[in-house]
Amino acid sequence: MRQAWNHAYELAKRTYGVESLATYSLFDAEDRQSVMARIDAAYRVLSDPGRRREYDAWLAQRSQPAASAGGPPSPAAQKTAAPSEVTIPDQLRGRDLKRIREQLGVSLQEIANATRINIKYLQYLEDDQHAKLPHGVFVRGYLLQYAQALKLDQDRILNGYLNGMTKTTPNP
């Protein structure tokens, strides 16, 4: 089992390391450092039986339903609208995406978790910071995944945002 952890750890280091071509466009230097720190911390926990037991106990306690513990309601219980009740304009701006997401009661972190898109890129979409976004093909993928995570019409979200994006982006 230990060899599998070592192999997975080495693979993760190569995948997210400075020299990795697979992730260079997905993470900036700060994100990469954060990911590497999390990988190192995870390896230290998994490779130490005592730490692993503590982590497993913490995880089991954390996974107890919040309602039975008297905690806050789950995000699903906080939803304010159904996807079918959302109006999607023909030209979407980032603030429209944010309004729709908030209307559905979904946090940006939930979308990042569901899609595995770096939360900074999701923020750039919602803030119309187009210059900070990667190449257009990535933006298209991000928008499709964003719509899918919210259970919205992917074509309307993609086309609406791209239409809004061309209206706000100055011509070179």
One domain for residues 148 and 107: yes
Task: Please state the length of the chain.
Answer: 172
State how many domains the chain has.
2
Q: Judge if 85 and 121 occupy the same domain.
A: yes
User: pLDDT digit string (tens) for 144-162?
Assistant: 999 999 999 999 999 999 8
Domain that holds residue 118: 75-168
Domain check: are 108 and 152 in the same one? yes
Rounded CA-CA distance 156/149 in Å is 14
Q: How far is CA 89 from CA 34, 68, 133, 153, 162, in A?
A: 37, 40, 22, 12, 12
Chain segment 79-115, per-residue pLDDT in tens? 556 777 788 888 899 999 999 999 888 999 999 999 9
What was the pLDDT predicted at 48? 84
Mean pLDDT of 31-39: 82
The model carries a pTM of 0.53
Asked which of 37, 62, 87 is the last residue of a domain, the reply is: 62
Residue with more model confidence, 172 or 170: 170
The reply to whether 58 and 99 lie within a common domain is: no
Same domain, 26 and 89: no
Res 169: pLDDT: 52
Q: Where are the alpha helices (DSSP H) in the chain?
A: 2-16, 29-47, 49-62, 94-103, 108-115, 119-126, 136-149, 154-168
